[in-house]
Amino acid sequence: MNRRQMMTSATATLTSASSFIPGIAMSAAKSSPPVPPVARKEPKRLEQLGRVRVDDYAWMKDDNWQKVLRDPSLIKADVKEHLTAENAYTKAMLAPTEALQAAMFEEMKGRIKQDDASVPAPDRAFEYYTRFETGAQHPIHARKARALLETLAGKDPIPGGPMVGVYKAFGPEEVLLDEEAESKGKAFYQVGGAGHSPDHALYAFAVDEQGSEVYRILVKDLATGKVLDSPVESSTGDFCFSPDSQWLFWTFRDDNGRPARIYRRPARGTAKDDVLIYDEPDEGFFIGVGVVSSEKFIVISCGNQETSENLLIPAGAPTAKPVIVEPRQVGLRYEIDHWNDHFVIRTNADGAVDWKLVTAPEATPGKAHWKDWVAHKPGTLIVGMIAFSNHFARLEKVDAVNRIVITAKGGEEHVVGFDEAAYALSLEGGYEYDTTTVRFVYNSMTTPRQWFDYDMASRQRTLRKTQEIPSGHDPAKYETRRLNARASDGTEVPIFVLMKKGTKLDGSAPLLLYGYGSYGISMEASFSIRNFSLVDRGWIWATACPRGGSEKGWSWFLDGKKFKKKNTFTDFIACAEHLHGAGYGKPANTVAYGGSAGGLLMGGITNMRPDLFAGIIAAVPFVDVVNTMSDTTLPLTPPEWPEWGNPLEDAEAYDYIASYSPYDNVGARPYPAVLATGGLSDPRVTYWEPEKWVAKLRPATTSGKPVLLKINMDAGHGGASGRFDFLKEIALDYAFAVWAVERGWEHRA
């Protein structure tokens, strides 16, 4: 997310971590230290597969959590009372950092171009974009009309719709959705997805007003400016229009928070017009609906982390029954796109661990007719693909760095890449198929984002936008490095480092070590306006890439999941040890940071090597793994058994999960200072996970260092919805890091 702003004169002197806390602490020296809440224990005996565990804090889970997600005010009184007390304790403990929080917030805010706008995305007669008003927390969605200069003969796939051709001459702005206006008076407001119908007559957008990811989809008539009656309720926020603009396809979210069914309704219809077109039989599968690049088919995608299935509906017959491409087979994954007269399928079939591309005829897309097109190459991970009428673009990752490969219709290939040792590169999808232009975004840890339009035929790059940093940014003041740590089994683990030039590598600089390591999600050497509020204070920012991600290919993911999950923890520990050995910080001034499944990583390393860290920031941490993976009512439990294992049916999985689950392995150890955060409406990592973990950690630690909990009572997994409110949460995290290194709590008594 983009967030930023400058220091005020009152806080401009707060320029270093080492000078901040003591000066504040002296003013608080006469005050008594805050007293932490003590959570009551209600032992609950749980027997499972012949194993017995006792959970003292199971009472913190609200039995009506599904209703709480939709209406947080329904939380049971004793839980609310305890969370309120925890928030008050955290606020009191971190009171000496409030000036630093304010300074960091203003710095981050100052790095945001407040009236920023996206690069317009053309779609024949219009171009679409979002923009912010100065001071606004939420964007405006808008478009401008374009004049048709030249019609491309025989290129009109939308009956009665806009012609395909060459457009220029932009018209006045038309506001499609003003999120800032809609969010007024609401504690949380987030648009999960938005898009126009292909005939440009309607605009649909999915809204979440609790942070629970239960979306309402509204459809606006752009001719009248009116929102149609009867919005879609209980959606995941996933939807698409049929290519003929006559139908809206959408995904239903059930009471357990899972995408369960696909419905179709007339684009201007109401709930009574909804028709069920697909009902997913496996509660462990996620489903969604979309349209292929050529707009010739609607696709229903189904799958989990190891198995997938796709169904097709011809765009020319949008009310037809979906037809399966290739029936699901455990271990077979594939995704499908359409390029001119055939399908292109990205798949792991036939042992293609890092994926390959195959083609198939329109009439017979099943696996029996798949023909290898881009062969599997171990270590070259095919990340994604986009088809255009005369070109095909794919994104590949090699040794933690991305590149774009363009294939012309005739078969000629070329690579789009950059020279930096570590950078982030991504493809941006557009609306137009009949174009030679693909858009990509380039950035690095020192270089702000740059949006390029790339002509795949002429190979010309056009810089469309450079991320503007109003308060100033000089890349020459910083340096980024690519390091490799050696894990205990000899595996080399990538680390990306950002620091100011001239930083002494003698262990004296504080170190923030970030990590994730799950679901095959790659960490990128990307630009963040937030991190400079630590780096400018002399900190080193390092991003570890432990197994469980896919930075070094899909095998990197497979070596960090299920019965190999502990590799994620030991890899991260190896990164910390390598950095310390090379002079990038030392245990006494190192803070580890991770969120969600990265919060599991934080819990794991905290139990395994508390001596390596002065502080731990665990954002919405997935730490109660045995209990969560044993609760089939929770949104992500059945879909995630392939990732973690099923402790309800597999004794080996139970024992392995229990051996690392952070909550279950808390013991008498000298834990670092800990800040755990969460959201009351979070459906992914429920609020009681960090709440229970903190309740168990606090009496267990032998270090005397504080254990803090901060729960956002008005948000979910992603935290605050406004772009500035979100920055305040990040500023609190970073101020905690400074406080933990400076042992700020010791100055209160």
Q: What is the 3-state secondary structure (H, E, C) of 188-238?
A: CCEEEEEEECCCCCEEEEEEECCCCCCEEEEEEECCCCEECCCCEEEEEEE
Query: In sequence order, what are the residues at sequence separation of 6 or more whose Cβ sits closer than 8 angstroms to the Cβ of residue 406?
Result: 391, 392, 393, 413, 414, 415, 416, 438, 456
Residue among 354, 624, 682, 714 flagged as catalytic = 682
For helices 597-608 and 566-581, the axis angle rounded to 10 degrees is 70
> What is the C-alpha end-to-end distance of the chain, expressed in Å?
39
Query: In sequence order, what are the residues at sequence separation of 6 or more whose Cβ sits closer than 8 angstroms to the Cβ of residue 442?
Result: 418, 423, 424, 425, 449, 450, 452
Alpha-carbon distance of 467 to 451, in angstroms, equals 8
Burial of 131 (C-beta count, 10 Å sphere; 0-12/13-18/19+):
middle
Alpha-carbon distance of 497 to 552, in angstroms, equals 17
Alpha-carbon distance of 277 to 242, in angstroms, equals 14
Query: In sequence order, what are the residues at sequence separation of 6 or more whose Cβ sits closer than 8 angstroms to the Cβ of residue 364?
Result: none
Alpha-carbon distance of 570 to 578, in angstroms, equals 12
The verdict on whether 444 is a catalytic residue reads no
The verdict on whether 596 is a catalytic residue reads yes
Alpha-carbon distance of 206 to 406, in angstroms, equals 33
**Per the structure block, which two tokens stand in for 632?**
């089939």
Neighbours of 78 (CB within 10 A): 12
The verdict on whether 555 is a catalytic residue reads no
Residue among 717, 725, 733, 747 flagged as catalytic = 717
- The DSSP call for residue 549 is B
Residue among 293, 526, 533, 596 flagged as catalytic = 596
- The string of DSSP letters for 403-424 reads EEEEEETTS-EEEE---SSS-E
Alpha-carbon distance of 521 to 514, in angstroms, equals 14
What residues are annotated to the active site?
596, 682, 717
